[in-house]
A and B are shown apart, each in its own frame.
Chain A
């Protein structure tokens, strides 16, 4: 069975602080994909990144960076110099590749509040 854990339920930071959101996953598949999505107050989930299990390179996109460590089954997300607009719920998700369906498993989410 697949499972995604986001142990931090809520995080509050002051603007310009760096913040890391943790994601730990469980799967028996050798090939799988990990995602991060952002859900702002408007409600629509917004795609941030996809990573496959064979690519352990860290990735940076502007103020966002992701640290994938297969050895610890973690895919953590860091926001550098946070801004108020980063306030949202962030979800980590996992899925295997499949010819018969794509059953995405989402974590419970971390609510990030960035205070001015």
Chain B
């Protein structure tokens, strides 16, 4: 079956531009996660959705970052007024589990954002 897909795969933005990154999770997966992965680092948690509810946004680095999942499936991560420190790979993951026992997450290929 189809895995997690993300688009675009690569995005170059000039400093100050707004960007929107899309994630299509595996069909039926309730949980959706966004991570930021800087070069040579492990993924860092940004935010978590259970269906359309954003239950945890503690990892969003600033109010320039905004995520939504209005119908409980596709999710968009928006970054306003991009800065060079936003350059990273943004990973999306989904899992079938909800609360309680954390299930394994299925990751997309990521969107590599470069801010110039």
Contact = CB atoms under 8 A, between A and B. Distances in A.
Of the candidates A95, A104, A105, the one having the most CB atoms from chain B within 10 angstroms of its own CB is: A104
A93 B44 CA distance: 11
A113 to B, nearest CB: 15
Contacts of B108: 44
Of the candidates B31, B89, B110, the one having the most CB atoms from chain A within 10 angstroms of its own CB is: B110
Interface in B40-80: 40-45, 48, 50, 55-56, 58-59
Interface in B79-116: 89, 91, 93, 99-110
Contacts of A30: none
A99 B44 CA distance: 20
A44 B109 contact: yes
A104 B107 contact: no
Contact of A103 (B59, B93, B110): B59
Contacts of B101: 33, 52, 97
A105 to B, nearest CB: 7
A62 interface: no
A115 interface: no
A107 B89 contact: no
B105 A106 contact: no
A77 interface: no
A35 B104 CA distance: 8
Contacts of B42: 4, 91, 93, 106-109
5 contacts: A33-B102, A45-B105, A46-B107, A50-B103, A103-B59
Interface of B: 3, 31, 33, 35, 40-45, 48, 50, 55-56, 58-59, 89, 91, 93, 99-110
